[in-house]
Chains A and B, each alone.
Chain A
């Protein structure tokens, strides 16, 4: 018996992605059969397109955050960087700067936030949680100062097009943001599995000393993860701005919580050294599907937080379940 549970927890650890897919399948079946009325509204192409669009910008941040967390770090500042990227790109556009240039400037602003995070964490040696908590507040403040709480509007129509969809066939169209998400997640997943430079994040997060002795520039790898996350967060902000045809100082609110939850559900450990991008993406998809399903089931809005928090806790405990633990729980209940 103890072997079975051990094997089970090993399986969960080794095939995290498969386990999430199974949970996803169960959740989908549940929502499909539980939905009110006679009409199927959950398993439709339209609804899944909405789910995909809804998670598309969070997915960009999930890619960066996975690398940060694998390397043993943490980044709370992404939500604020979403607002910064959107505001800088949009302000420049409205001021007449060519769209491409404005977008690049927005991304550079995100890179700058990441570089500051990386510098303070690796060179000054401040804890990542504290550092990025600080930059989160500073960057949000800068956004508010820059726009004085007025949303940036009047964006060029060709920029707004990016937030729309690409018609593939008469009945099927693919939103650009979803295309961007799929390409980014796939590329990053393959690179993290095979590219030498990216694989270093596992060594840095797994055993920093060993990584240092084997000649890895630990600080550089760490800083890189923060800069990449900053760029991706800014990109998320720019994509959102094109979808909403405006950029505001409170964009990306709570994004850090959603993204970190997804990465952890996807199997990454905050201790560093483990996690995959595919897993984190599936974690995000699971969160997105459950949020959507709860809307369709008309679940009380205040109940949603309880559900989402419970899923997070379940996700991090599932691979710790073994026979001794079950016995402990059993004994506790007998008392």
Chain B
């Protein structure tokens, strides 16, 4: 519990329910939603992937989102103080660890947005034209045709992304300047625009030769893989990452809602909008890639920066306009997610220290900008491209593997254990049911206490076993990293020790604010 001190500072408040839904869905819909679902669906059996995907949505995604939203409305606090009020100091450490990891993730997430911003500008000035070179052997000579890969690596080896990172940070901080008031204004424009742009891409995609076959290919089930554990692991991980759970963002946003908000309905709404966006994004991506016989296997970066622009460059007309629109869509989807990441951290600083919003944003932005600049460092360490090319891209790749791949799932797991077993899943359910039209049954307790921790624990142990004992060795250790060959060992160590150390240190500090009321859900 907080120690002592003056009354709580005035926190933000959403002006409308729709404003909250747009902000929360804008947070959930990020870069991964545009291409990652399509890639997973392709790899894991097309339409057959929808079976584990929907099971993951209803068994894991929506229940954890109900939990995270309820944490916010129950306490009116960001995740560390919310958990602190419900389960004590150990909860606060978990919350602060989640936000410390979110800080690391924000660093490189905004760097990716910086690259997307550069590609967006580049779509008008050269990306869609022949002649792109990069200081790597395969791309050393200017390309004879439009070559998105050469253009991207050329960009990576320049200083422009650093400038773009500052632009993205400026956009993010401007949107956060007056808290919910400015966030709501931004999402009311950006989120509907994202849907409009995606629908335009669908229209373009399905009108290409073979485009409709691509759409049907996405949904036609290939049942051969459904029994394979990898498919189920892929679906559960995809759902957790896709909904931005375990990052503290949903709790921060929900803390600006009234206590009587219907969190079951809100969770359904946000989750279904998020998955609906993935659904239409899958249609757009599959129709385009199929039309140009491009394989949709790959990560978010490779598909977004190489495959899709390559496909767009082969459009019969308006290639610059479509290229620009695609990257503008990426920037908007990414910025609305970055806003929530930074807000989650800033609100936690305000809750803990009682400082002003401007000071809290500065405390988050300074390390965030430094990390983003490191990620965009253009120094080439791997001219053979046996790894990722530049210092910055290797830093991103390895940090993402650990920070994103483990912390979200781990926080989700611990969150469920603490709320299910220490606070009491029945108490949580009683609070939710007090204000929801659709009542949760005792099955919710079973999910929070047993099933979700078991699923997340299995995925975590499975991933860790592959990383520590797999044939490839420690992640990134096979890359030719030259002068930064210590990255694969040092980055995970800095991440885990840095985030745990920061979480412990911040938890040990005195809280400047006292909650104005105790948490007493009706049981």
Q: Is A bound to B?
A: no
B interface with A by C-beta (< 8 Å):
none
A interface with B by C-beta (< 8 Å):
none
